[in-house]
Amino acid sequence: MDTIRTLGRSGIEVSALGFGCWAIGGEWQDADGLPLGWGKVDDEESVRAVRHALDLGITFFDTADTYGAGHSERVLGRALGKRRADVVLATKWGIVFDERTRTLTDRDDSPAHLRRALTASLRRLDTDHVDLYQFHIGDADPEHATLLRDTCEDLVREGLIRAYAWSTDDPARAAVFAEGPHCTAVQHALNLLQDAPDMLRLCEERDLASINRSPLAMGLLAGKRRAHQPLESGDIRSRPPAWLQGFGDGSGADPEWLDRVEAVRSILTSEGRTLAQGALAWLWARSPATVPIPGFRSVAQAEENAGAMAKGALTGEQLSEIEQLLGR
Ligand SMILES: NC(=O)c1ccc[n+]([C@@H]2O[C@H](COP(=O)([O-])OP(=O)(O)OC[C@H]3O[C@@H](n4cnc5c(N)ncnc54)[C@H](OP(=O)(O)O)[C@@H]3O)[C@@H](O)[C@H]2O)c1
C-alpha cells in the first residue's frame, strides 16, 4: 500500500494515517460539568508522541479549537515547532468555549465567528495558515452553511486556509460544502463496527477525502478494554453523551460491541498486525479515499498506530470475511 494519500481534489498529499488530537487536549467539560475530554493527560508525553509520529512519517494532524478548550492546539503547535512546514494541519471551528474554565459554552455558525475562531486558532497553533479548516457543527442548518462555504472560499483567496471540509455524518450536508471548489474532504465516523457506505460513495463520486474519526471505535478496537471496566471520571466515555456508542450507560465498554471485536480478531491480527493496526488496515481497504485519524495519548500508542502503515491494507477477501462474520 502507498503510505501517501491525496486529500481529495486539493492534491494536498498526506501520510495515509493522520493523528487525531482530541485526547491530548486533556480535561474540559460542558456547561453541566459533564466531561468532554479523555481524562488527564501528560503534556510532555503528548509532545514526545507528536514528535515521534513525525519521525515515523506522519504528516497529517487533526485537532479542533475546542479540544481541551484551546489546549490541544497549543500543545500541537508547541510539539511541531519548526517542523510545522512539514505537515498538513487540520483544525475546526463552530463550538464556543471558555479557555479559563475549560468549559463549552455555546455553538456559533455565523461567518463572523468563523473569522474570529480562525484568528484564535492561528495564534494557538503558532502558524500563519491552516491547511484544512473544518466546520465542527455536524447537524447545522445546511442552507445557512452556504454562507460559511463562501466565507471559506474567501479565506482561501486570502491565503489563511488552503482547503476546508464539514465534519458531519450526514452526506446531504457534506454535499452542500462539496459545491465549493476548495472543499476537499468530509470528516465523519467510520470504523469496522460503524460503516458509512453512503458517505463513502459521496466521497468517491465527488473526489473528497474521507477523514475517519473514531477509527478505533474510541478505543474498543484497540483491544485493551474489558467489559464494564471502569473509566476515569474525567473521561467522556465514563458518562457518554447520546451520540457516543459502545460504552453503554458509562459503566464501561459494552459487552456486545466487544463480542463483535472478538468475532473478527483473528483476521485483524493476521500478518503480524496488532488489533489496532488491523482496524486501521480495514479502513484503508474500505476505500481509496479514506484517511483514518486515530487518537493517541502516549509514545507507545503513536508508535503502534504509525506502524500500521508499513503493514498496509487488508485484502478484499478479508473484508468480505469480516462482513460475513458480522452478519452484514
Ligand atoms: N466531531 C468531530 O469532528 C470529531 C469527533 C470525534 C473525534 N474526532 C477526531 O478523530 C480523532 C480520533 O477519534 P477518537 O479520538 O474519537 O477515537 P479513536 O481514534 O477511535 O480512539 C482513540 C483512543 O483509543 C485509544 N488508543 C489509541 N491507540 C491505541 C493503541 N495503539 N492501543 C491501545 N489504545 C489505543 C486511546 O484511548 P485510551 O488509551 O484512553 O483507551 C485513544 O485516545 C480525534 O482525536 C479527533 O481528532 C472528531
pLDDT in tens, 29-43: 999 999 999 999 999
Nearest residue (CA) to ligand 1, atom 48: 213
Q: Which sign, positive or negative, has the C-alpha torsion 218, 223, 224, 226?
A: positive
CATH number, domain at 63? 3.20.20.100
Nearest Cα residue to 79 out of 297, 306, 307: 297
Helix, strand, coil percentages (3-state) for the chain, rounded to 5, are 45, 20, 40
Quote the radius of gyration of the chain (alpha carbons, Å). Answer: 18
Expressed as residue numbers, the domain containing 31 is 4-325
Q: Tell me, what's the pLDDT at 230?
A: 83
Mark the ranges of the chain whose per-residue pLDDT is less than 70. none
Question: How many C-beta atoms lie closer than 10 Å to residue 325's C-beta?
Answer: 14
Q: Which is the closest atom of ligand 1 to the Cα of 63?
A: 47
Q: Which is the closest atom of ligand 1 to the Cα of 134?
A: 3
Grid coordinates in use for 239? Answer: 458518562
**How many domains does one find in the chain?**
1
User: Cα of 60 to ligand 1 centre, how many Å?
Assistant: 15
What secondary structure letter does DSSP report for 94? -
Ligand 1 residue neighbourhood (C-beta within 6 Å) = 20-23, 38, 62, 92, 136, 138, 167, 187, 213-219, 222, 224, 276, 293-297, 301, 304-305
- Between the alpha carbon of residue 321 and those of residues 36, 111, 184, 194, the distances in Å are 36, 47, 32, 16
For ligand 1, pick from 21, 168, 193, 214 the residue to mutate: most ligand atoms within 8 Å of CB: 214
DSSP string, 3-25: SEEE-GGG--EEESS-EE-SGGG
> Under 8 Å CB-to-CB from 77, ≥6 apart: which residues?
84, 124, 125, 126, 127
User: Cα of 154 to ligand 1 centre, how many Å?
Assistant: 32
Grid coordinates in use for 262? Answer: 472478538
Nearest Cα residue to 185 out of 134, 111, 117: 134
User: Cα of 214 to ligand 1 centre, how many Å?
Assistant: 5
Q: Tell me, what's the pLDDT at 236?
A: 95
For ligand 1, pick from 216, 245, 280 the residue to mutate: most ligand atoms within 8 Å of CB: 216
pLDDT tens per residue across span 40-56: 999 999 999 999 999 99
Q: Tell me, what's the pLDDT at 229?
A: 81
Q: Tell me, what's the pLDDT at 311?
A: 97
Q: Tell me, what's the pLDDT at 169?
A: 98
Q: Tell me, what's the pLDDT at 288?
A: 98
Q: Tell me, what's the pLDDT at 225?
A: 78
